[in-house]
Amino acid sequence: QNRQALNVSYQPFHAAEPGTFTYHPYLLKEYQSRWFVFGYNESVQEISNLALDRIKNITSSPAPYVPNTFFDPDTYFADMIGVSRDSNSVPEQIILQATKSMEGYMDTKPIHHSQKKRNSRETNAIYELYLIPNYELIATILRFGGDLKVIEPNFLKEDIRRRIAQLLEEK
């Protein structure tokens, strides 16, 4: 609202110490009861999101505010679930197979607005989606356990397989 550049001290979960950088905020977004700010991060020179609960300190920056000419939020979020997006990400055709017991759920509560049912068989249903594979998509697929299976693309299928194998590893 104030079009003010900020010095942000931010500590991701995996970092031992917070880092500080100049940030130009554009948008607040809620996803699964957690709030995020999207803006231009000068240290990486691209749009990034920050979880509000991991911001340690905010002060005004003397840097001139950089207005948003980088992204349109409606377009930016249209091809994804959640808030995680690699700057090189592009939408992919995702083919999922749902068990018969999961079909009604998939029909009445689609994973993404691009979801289309390709066919319904006696034992399963096939769905096609067109979106950016990201952390939130993987978490959504894993949430359904054996009732939802990735058919394509192969890299996503292998990523899911690797994560399931990690779950089963004894440490």
- Distance CA(80)–CA(114), nearest Å, equals 10
Q: The whole model's pTM is what?
A: 0.86
Mean pLDDT by 10 residues, the chain (171 residues): 95 94 97 96 94 97 95 93 89 97 96 96 96 95 95 96 89 74
What are the residues facing 95 on neighbouring strands?
128, 152
pLDDT of residue 93: 98
Residues of 39-63 as b/e, b for ≥16 C-beta within 10 angstroms? bbbbeeeebbbbbeeebeeeeebee
pLDDT recorded at residue 169: 86
Pairing of strands 148-152, 116-120: unpaired
* Per-residue confidence (pLDDT) for residue 23, from 0 to 100: 97
pLDDT of the residue at 52: 97
**E-assigned strands of the chain?**
6-10, 19-31, 34-41, 46-51, 55-60, 92-99, 116-120, 124-131, 148-152
Chain-centroid distance of CA 84 in Å reads: 3
pLDDT at 126: 98
pLDDT for position 71: 87
